[in-house]
A and B are shown apart, each in its own frame.
Chain A
Amino acid sequence: MIALLRKDLPWLLAVLAAGWATLAIVLSQEGFVHVWALPATRLGGYFHAAWICGAVLGLCAALADEAQGTRDFLHHRPVSPTRIHAARVLACAVVLAAWWVLPPALHWLIESIFGENAAQARFATLLDMGAVVTAAASAAAIGLFAGTLPCGLVLRFATGAATLLAVFTAIDAFALRPGGEGWRLASQAAFAGWHLAAAFGFGLASFANAGTAPDPDRPLPHRARVVSGTLATLAFAALAATLAGSGQYSGLASLWHAYPAVLRQGDEFVLATRTEDREQMVWERVDRAHQRSPAALDRRGLTFVEDASQPRGTMEPGFNEPRFHDLDWYRPAQRLDVLLCEDGRSWLLRREGYTGRVEVHGTGKGEAGAPFLPGFQALEVRAERERPLWVAEPASGVLWRFAPERGHFVAAQLPGGDRLIAARTVRRDVLDNASRPASRDSTHGQEHLVLQGEQGVYRLDGADLVPAEAWLRALVTVREPQRREFVDADLLSPRLRILDSSGAPLFAHDFAPRTAKERLHAGIACWYSALRPPFLQVAGHLWAARGAQSNPLLDPLVAGGARAWLVLVGIGCAALCAFGAHRRLRRAGVAPAVRRFWVVCIGVCGPAALVGCAAAERARAHAAPPRRSAPAGAPRIATPRDPVAQAPG
């Protein structure tokens, strides 16, 4: 094994050094304080560098002997192909382990020697960095798996790219949850766990191809077909699901845009559709069937109730960088930053003007620096010279103000010893300009931040807390006259109910594609459903929650038992593809067992598996021998082997 590792030493060292340098450079560009002193939120570059380095490592391990032309030299010696491959896997593991340790160490060392902030390092952040680098392990395993596939180089690279994209998207689907802005991680453990599981799975799968040389003129070996073919097909299916989800998202967004909006006019609710007229959006009243109503829309006192919302929860396929912490950044004074983490912890950054030295301290409530209780809300108020930072903590009923001179938050007394109930942003958005067609643009909403106490309503005026004006109090105390809720949050046919404050229904409308335009968009969205892999469709139909969902692999249109017919259409589509593939394979002379394998794969994974089938079962591999390959007979000049036959004459 050592000998097998030693022969790979030149490229191993080169890749190790290149990866090490790349990761260290990326870390240094993120900034020492951001990486080491604070909960790491800027590891996007590190993540991308890690998976790219990992993929390169895997491909190098798989292709090194092929590129050097030493494949036959290696494989003819008395070492089993499994052992040779195990040495490659071990080499990758060693490099990955080095990447896990060395770049952060180098980064810290450089800061220790040349920088000012090494003392600020919190070694807990190594967890964040370590979790991010696990992406290199999964990418390396996928690279190794793809590089050892017994097929042409182009196909290997294409399969590797598709698998990488599909696996990373799938890991995002499982390890990330939707956050306030974009996507963030549930935990480092979930992210690292999924990536290591993928690394283990693909690393193991690559053994199925060990010692199998690409041979375009012969069918794939059975083991390579079953293991690698199945994995690649699943990857293609996952990729197809996310691509279909992306297309479906566009279709649904267009559909929701085509649906009428609900407007309120006095006590009456009306449906109105929007059309563009000379760069201006014009509203026209429609009836319940979404047909234009002859009754004109009186534009006076028109208020939005429900706009056409975007379908939520669909994620584009891709390499989404992880975010382990949600950190908000405030600057209450010059050269002083306060960072609030979603879990209630906070940090204080003091910058020295000339040296670039940064001091990082943990801060919080009072001198003890206690973290804020869940449900806290940061309130930044713009004042003339400074930006006072307030934190409302309804759980304790206390309002906190950051005191720059003390370096921590101090409790702010509400007038009259009042107790804080909530901090709210109230909005007043009224369409009252009757001089022009009612348009969305003419809705001028103003947001006001108010603090609601047990005894009164207050507002923040720079660094001061003052009682709210009467009109503002009215907005808070006179709660919204109605509550909107979707009885059925289905993305194709949502059912909207508007209730009054007591819960009595004021208005109801069941959205459904009724006009030609709506039906067209709905049809496009459904068409993408039919292209999704049937096994994921069935899984989503049976187990996913109805309506918007956060897993891009599952179809929101069939989730929660909706539209069984759409699942059946998808299965039918897959069956048609399987039938077509079976015919093609039979014509190509493929063995019945292989045909059955691909029929099952396509039936389960849908049209995407056709790609895998076409790539794996090339007509050339199953073609009959050329005509001229008929035996040409015995040698015409032959010395008989049998000494008796060598008699003279």
Chain B
Amino acid sequence: MSDVIRFEDVHRHFGRHAVLRGLTFEVRRGEIYAFLGRNGAGKTTALRILLGLLAPHGGRSEILGVDSTQLQPAHRARIGYVGEGHRLYPAMRVSDAIAFEAETRSTLDRGFVARAVQRCGLRPAQVVARLSRGERAQLSLILAAAGRPDVLVFDDPAMGLDVVMRRSLLDAMIDLLAGFGCTVLFSSHILTDVERIADRVGILHEGTMLVDATLDDLKRRVARWPWQPANGATPPVEARVLRATRRHDGFALTLVDADAALLERLRAHGRLGEPATPDLEELFLDLTGPERNGLLSESLAARAERDEVTP
């Protein structure tokens, strides 16, 4: 399978704040890639760089095999994009928005739009400014998908939606993409949704990728172990220990690729319970939440000095 989207060591800063620090990952044809990260992690910046709407300070990004800075209208015709906030022209009616999309995107499938609009309960006479957030998100999604693009890029499509609307949008997204075969890169905060549709997950934190893995692989490699240390022992600080959360009876250790030697060492210094597989949200918190441990690039020694969790 060839890469449809590729980031190669992309750097970008705003003033003194480095937003992307050597972002590298790729998305293959037909893959649904969830791009996760906290607010300000650089997701939108990365997507705008990918679409050629923002220039990087270093590295390069490609989409459909073309450098993002060299995208021509013909390439853009093969890309669908839903930006942050689902921006549409507010004074247009739904029918106007569809007509505008059809006139500026020759590949638009009007039959698909008509069906999708009907399914989502949107009325053509409705003014965009008076649509609810969820309706606007659905309309954006329909318009982006109706051009039969090879790549769809969604920037936080469920942002600001309540649970019901989010679920409705997600269903619409799944329906729209069913049998579509296009590559999807979407950023999101809603991790339960990601688990439903994504083939692969990338977690961006402080400008760099912490995780670029399939969900199955994550579940297989990451486990949460209860550990009661004996004689005041503290959890080990190393790359395989993602997080050590203090509990009333000891610690909950989130371990990645825990081998027999590490488990033996833990058992030697305390009582190790049965492992549990964390869901994506717990894993996300372990990786990007405060007091995270082993995945940070800063030195372990410095970390050890600052945190209570010392070996």
A residues near B, CB below 8 A? 2-4, 6-7, 9-10, 68-70, 72-73, 75-80, 213, 215-218, 620, 625-626, 628-639, 641
Nearest CB in chain B to that of A632: its residue: B208
Q: A10-B91, A638-B211, A639-B214 are in contact. Are A629 and B11 (CB under 8 A)?
A: yes
B255 to chain A: closest CB distance in Å? Answer: 11
B210–A3 contact, CB under 8 A? no
A73–B53 contact, CB under 8 A? no
Within 8 A of A (CB), among B90-122: 90-92, 96, 99-101, 103-106
Within 8 A of A (CB), among B257-298: 294-295, 297
B211–A636 contact, CB under 8 A? yes
B104–A77 contact, CB under 8 A? yes
B76–A72 contact, CB under 8 A? no
CA distance A323 to B121 in the complex (A): 62
Return chain B residues, CB-CB under 8 Å to A73: 81, 83, 87-88
Assess whether B237 is interfacial by the CB under 8 Å rule.
no
Contact mask for chain B residues 153-180; partner A; CB cutoff 8 A; 1 contact, 0 none: 0000000000000000000000000000
Return chain A residues, CB-CB under 8 Å to B53: 72, 75-76, 213
Return chain A residues, CB-CB under 8 Å to B55: 215, 218
Q: A626-B18, A631-B21 are in contact. Are A641 and B90 (CB under 8 A)?
A: no
CA distance A343 to B79 in the complex (A): 67
Contacts beyond the supplied A72-B53, A625-B13: 17 A-B pairs with Cβ under 8 Å: A7-B100, A10-B91, A72-B48, A72-B83, A73-B83, A78-B106, A79-B104, A218-B57, A629-B11, A631-B9, A632-B21, A633-B297, A635-B212, A636-B256, A637-B211, A637-B256, A639-B214
A4–B213 contact, CB under 8 A? no
A3–B213 contact, CB under 8 A? no
Return chain B residues, CB-CB under 8 Å to A76: 51, 53, 76, 79, 81, 83
CA distance A228 to B211 in the complex (A): 44
Nearest CB in chain B to that of A3: its residue: B103
CA distance A268 to B90 in the complex (A): 84
Return chain A residues, CB-CB under 8 Å to B247: none
CA distance A258 to B209 in the complex (A): 76
CA distance A629 to B9 in the complex (A): 11
Q: A70-B87, A635-B209 are in contact. Are A626 and B104 (CB under 8 A)?
A: no
B11–A217 contact, CB under 8 A? no
B213–A639 contact, CB under 8 A? yes
Instruction: Say whether chain B's binding surface is mostly helix, strand, loop, or mixed.
Output: mixed
A225 to chain B: closest CB distance in Å? Answer: 15
20 chain-A/chain-B pairs, Cβ below 8 angstroms: A3-B99, A3-B103, A6-B100, A76-B51, A78-B75, A79-B104, A80-B72, A217-B13, A625-B11, A625-B13, A626-B17, A630-B22, A631-B9, A631-B22, A632-B22, A634-B24, A635-B210, A637-B295, A639-B213, A639-B217
Assess whether B37 is interfacial by the CB under 8 Å rule.
no
Nearest CB in chain A to that of B58: its residue: A625
Instruction: Say whether chain A's binding surface is mostly helix, strand, loop, or mixed.
Output: loop
B103–A2 contact, CB under 8 A? yes
A8 to chain B: closest CB distance in Å? Answer: 9
How many B residues, CB 8 Å from partner?
A: 66
Residue of A6, A9, A635 with most chain B CB atoms under a 10 A cut-off: A635
Return chain B residues, CB-CB under 8 Å to A636: 210-211, 239, 256, 294-295
A638 to chain B: closest CB distance in Å? Answer: 5
Nearest CB in chain B to that of A630: its residue: B21
CA distance A630 to B100 in the complex (A): 43
B103–A639 contact, CB under 8 A? no
Residue of B18, B106, B256 with most chain A CB atoms under a 10 A cut-off: B18
B104–A4 contact, CB under 8 A? yes
CA distance A634 to B26 in the complex (A): 13
Return chain B residues, CB-CB under 8 Å to A638: 211-213
Contact mask for chain B residues 8-48; partner A; CB cutoff 8 A; 1 contact, 0 none: 01010111111011101110100000000000000000001
Q: A69-B85, A628-B21 are in contact. Are A215 and B54 (CB under 8 A)?
A: yes
Return chain A residues, CB-CB under 8 Å to B137: none
A70–B88 contact, CB under 8 A? yes
CA distance A218 to B57 in the complex (A): 8
Residue of A9, A213, A632 with most chain B CB atoms under a 10 A cut-off: A632
Assess whether B200 is interfacial by the CB under 8 Å rule.
yes
Return chain A residues, CB-CB under 8 Å to B13: 217, 625-626, 629
Assess whether B221 is interfacial by the CB under 8 Å rule.
yes
CA distance A69 to B295 in the complex (A): 37
- B104, B210, B221: the one within 8 Å of A78 (CB): B104
CA distance A341 to B100 in the complex (A): 55
B224 to chain A: closest CB distance in Å? Answer: 15
